Structures are given as C-alpha cells and as structure tokens.
Chain A
C-alpha cells in the first residue's frame, strides 16, 4: 500500500497578478500529523483549499488520497474530512441531528449511522447529550464533537484549519489527545495552527512564508537546524524575512 497520502509538486495558485501559493512541493505520509504553519496571508488557506478540492491550482500537480487535485476534486471530497477554525456544526440542531446530517452527506446507511453515533457518543462521554441542542454545549465540547463528526465517514485524511482557535488550554490538550488517537488509528492529520506549542505535537511541520514552503522537517530537527530552543523561535526567524504583511 502506498505510504504517501498527500503528494504535491510545484503547486501554484495565482489570483490575477498575485501569486498566493508559489510552487510548493511536499509529501505527507499516511498516519502522520502534518503541521502546516505560516503567518496570516502566507498562503496556507489557499494551499489547503486546493488540497480539499475547493479551488483549482493554476499550475503544478498533486494527489490527495490517490486522487488528482486537478481533475478529481469530487473524489477527494469523499475521502477527506474537514473542520474549520470557525465552529462548523449547526447550533439549532441537536447532537444527534448534526451527526445524522453529516452521516447522510457522506452516504452512510441508517444502520451504519446508528452504530457510529452510539460509538462516537460513548467515546466522547456524550451519550446523555444525544438530544441536546448543540448551541447549549460548552465550546470545548462542541469542538470535540465537531472533530468526531468530521471523521464520521472514516476519511483517510482530515484537514483541520486552526481547530483550536479560542479554546482554553485544558480543552486544547484534550483536543490534541483526540487527534493523536485518530492518527494512531491510521488517519492522516493535516493541521494548520497559530499556536507554536501545538506545532511541537506534530510529527512533521512545514512553514510557509510568502507563498513558499521555507522549512519542512520534524520539530526536533528544525530546532536543531536553526539552533534554537523552541518552534516559536524557528517560526519567528523565518517569518522575519516575510515581504507580505498581515
């Protein structure tokens, strides 16, 4: 079985004269937690949108879960999960209704849905909240539920776009435990974040500056390479040279 789940070569996206993503190349291995870092405006979101099949690359090539980002966007969408920084469940629906909706979207059968719902709620200790409106849950719970629902169809890759924005440290810690668990189960995690302590949790980290990938390695080796103590310093060293502002 192919060990590389995301493979990108010279991927470029231009908006008119502006090159948002400039010939980036990298590989992501199956089951790894891949941290995708960069300051605001560095092009991470654009790059991620191309990988999710939301936007066509201007040039270059890439595959996600074995499907071509140029031609097979619809197939990619079936095989990935996605969770955005903005909380993405429906507040006026109950926990169960939200699960049913996304199970329906990914074409799960009734029996499968029921089985996975029960399993998911037990894993999260949410069984008593099945009929609760999502809007009345605390933010940390919503975040966990959101992640669980993003993976309800057992995708091979999950894209997390700043998943822990605005969440307290304890919940963030718990959230990362969920991520580890999913990764241990073979799901590949592709995560963007602003928190440099979270970058330390990743198997490998890439740092984008001005639309290009300037660094890509394990956190330990990056620190070694830049001769610094923390990822935060690695990031600041690289970001200092940025041309584009916020």
Chain B
C-alpha cells in the first residue's frame, strides 16, 4: 500500500501549491523579517547627538572632542555654553553633553601622577530612552577614557561579534520563530481543516492508517521548511554577513531537528483544537507569544525572574536559539551543544508520542 501514501503526499502538495497566497506569505515572511531585523530594527546605538561644554579648549580637550566627532556612533553638534545644556537636552537637539573641567589639563596630569582628584569630565545624558542612554554612556566613556588616563585598568576585547552587530543575535531567534510559524501553525491548521470540513471522517473510514495520513501531511510542509531554511541561511550569510565559522552542516542538522519538533508541535495542537480558528489562536497566542518573550530571542533569559526562567525551559525555541547562536556566531561544532540537541530530541519524541496517542484515541 505504498501507492496510497504517495497519493496522499501528492494531494497535500497540491493543497499547498493551490493556495498561492499562503505560499507567498510563507516565502516572504522570512525575507521580510530578516531584512527588517537585520537592518531596520537594531539595538545598536548610532548617531547619538553630542554637544560639548569646554570653557578651556586646550589641545587635549580638542583631541578628545575630535575623537568623539570622528566616531561613527556620535554626531558632534558643536560647543555650547553651560546655560544651554538643559534646553538643548530638553528640546531633544542633543542626547548627551560632555562637560570638560576648566582646568582639565592640570587635573589630568595630577591623576596620571596618582594624586587623588575630583572628576575631570562630566557626562550628562538624556535617559528618557534607557537603552540608548546606557549604551551611549558606555561608548563615550570608552572613547574619552584614553584622554583621562593613559593606562586604563581594563583592556576589553569583544569576541565573536566584535562590532556588536545585533543582526547576529537576531538570526537564530528569527529561525526559531519562522519554523514554528511555518511548520507548527500550518500543519495544525491543515489537519484541523480536514476535521472541520468533514473530509477527515472519510479518510478515517478508508483503509489508510491514521499515522500515514499524518505523516503524509507533514512531508510537504517539511519540504517547504527546508526551502525556507536555505533561504534564511543564504540571507544570513550573504546579506547580514553572519560568520557561521563553525560550518553550515551542523546548523542545518540542528535546524532539521527543530523542524521535526515544530511539525510535531503542530500535530499536537491539531489534536487539541477542533476548529481552524482555535488552531490559529493556540499557535499564535500560546506558542508564538511565549516564544517571542521567553525564548531569549528578545530578552536575555538570565534577566528574567526565576519563575519565568523555569517557564522558558519548556519552550523549544530557547534551546534551539541557544545552540544556533553558539554555532553561528561562536563557530562551535554541534558536539559542543549536545545538551541543547538532547533536550530538543527528547521534546520531539515526547510530542510525537503524545500526539499520536491522542490522535488514535480520538478515533475511538
């Protein structure tokens, strides 16, 4: 009865191919999201407007200002008087003001000589946007520090992502999101649709084993997801310049595992939901939202309250994103992230077992 399995796969493929709009969305979503997250939305801080208050413009002050002005993260907005600081910040004309002490040179010499002294430079930062303020302060300190003390206490080196590109961080997260979207949501809706329309009943009366019906449904979605995966990896590599020094094969292997997991998640949803709308809602609200919030894609898991840290453990995307990040950016091989792989595999097995059991029970 191999014949009937193939007829099913063919039928499912036809369903998908006929539905041009959905196909287009599935193919476009990854591209749009990648471009959006890669270029438009970024947590990097660029073009911070900075004004400078310097009563005494000595060479070393000019030198420091010069370094600020030539830095790509800052835009130098000119010298202002101390009275203007408040109004400039309030009007939003500048986001930060650097004030040099009038006896800047003399005090720098003192500090270098080890004589205790009051601060020589003041940074006044508009902290209305906490994120920008924090990052800008850190950058400015870095840029200015060279002047204040020649021998800094720390030498910082950013490994793996020296330019701190946020795109690197988003690509694994996006992959986690998109596969859930394509695999879980689409399979669950497609299975539930058959229940809703009544065709499932006819299939169940036929001699085809229910397991076959389910697997035949998964195959075309798996194929589509593989195309999407290729698309994402190509975009990540050539458009966003994600390094992937650890080799693509490990990333692909991990992604395939995650695909199967997402498919079984979809199957699981389909055993719970009885209408297409319910399936969509479950996929969107119960799966996507926690995934976005708790997977570590947007917010670091370490910063969450303990409770949510625990919750995040049952979110498959957390482990996938963690492992993909390591492999894509740090360039480690798949054997290093064996723990994530083991957890993902275990989740897959559990989900498939539970949903197949539930699916068969429903028939009774």
Hey, which bits of chain A sit against chain B, CB under 8 A?
52-56, 74, 77-78, 80, 82-84, 86-90, 92-93, 97, 100-107, 159
Contacts and interface: CB of A to CB of B under 8 A. Distances in A.
A8 to B, nearest CB: 18
A61 to B, nearest CB: 19
Interface in B197-248: 197-199, 201-208
Given A90-B15, A97-B14, A80 B6 contact: no
B4 A92 contact: no
Interface string B169-212: 00000000000000000000000000001110111111110000
A87 B7 CA distance: 20
Given A54-B363, A84-B201, A104-B4, A93 B207 contact: no
B83 interface: no
B15 A77 contact: no
B18 to A, nearest CB: 5
B1 interface: yes
B205 A93 contact: no
A105 B4 contact: yes
A99 to B, nearest CB: 11
Contact of B202 (A55, A84, A92): A84
Contacts of B91: none
Contact of A82 (B4, B14, B19, B202): B202
Given A92-B14, A92-B15, A100 B7 contact: yes
B205 A86 contact: no
B364 interface: yes
Nearest to B206: A105
Contacts of A107: 1, 3-4, 207
Contacts of B205: 52-54, 77, 80, 82, 159
A83 B128 CA distance: 66
B79 interface: no
Given A105-B4, A105-B208, 15 more contacts: A54-B204, A54-B363, A56-B364, A77-B206, A77-B207, A80-B205, A82-B201, A82-B206, A86-B197, A90-B15, A90-B199, A93-B11, A104-B4, A105-B206, A159-B205
Interface of B: 1, 3-4, 6-8, 10-11, 14-15, 18-19, 197-199, 201-208, 363-364
B207 A88 contact: no
Given A93-B11, A104-B4, A87 B206 contact: no
**Can you list the 5 inter-chain pairs with the closest CB atoms, starting with the nearest?**
A104-B7, A86-B198, A82-B205, A88-B202, A77-B207
A215 B169 CA distance: 73
B363 to A, nearest CB: 7
B8 A104 contact: yes
21 contacts: A53-B205, A77-B206, A77-B207, A78-B207, A82-B201, A82-B206, A83-B202, A88-B198, A90-B15, A93-B11, A101-B8, A102-B206, A103-B7, A104-B3, A105-B7, A105-B207, A105-B208, A106-B4, A106-B206, A107-B4, A107-B207
A56 B361 CA distance: 12
Contacts of A105: 4, 7-8, 203, 206-208
A104 B6 contact: yes
Nearest to B364: A55
Contacts of A104: 3-4, 6-8, 10
A12 B65 CA distance: 91
Nearest to B199: A88
Contacts of B8: 101, 104-105
B362 to A, nearest CB: 11
Contacts of B208: 105
Nearest to B194: A90
Nearest to A75: B207
B4 to A, nearest CB: 5
Contacts of B19: 92
A58 to B, nearest CB: 11
B206 to A, nearest CB: 5
A145 to B, nearest CB: 13
A93 B3 contact: no
B201 A88 contact: yes
A92 B208 CA distance: 21
Contacts of A86: 197-198, 201
A52 B206 CA distance: 9
A102 B208 CA distance: 10
A244 to B, nearest CB: 22
A56 B363 CA distance: 10
A101 B206 CA distance: 11
A87 B197 CA distance: 8
Nearest to A89: B199
A15 B204 CA distance: 20
Contacts of B3: 104, 107
Best-buried of B6, B8, B206, B364 by chain A (most CB within 10 Å)? B206
A100 B207 CA distance: 15
A101 B208 CA distance: 12
Contacts of B206: 77, 82, 102, 105-106
A36 to B, nearest CB: 16
Contacts of A55: 363-364
Nearest to A85: B198
Contact of A84 (B7, B11, B14, B198): B198
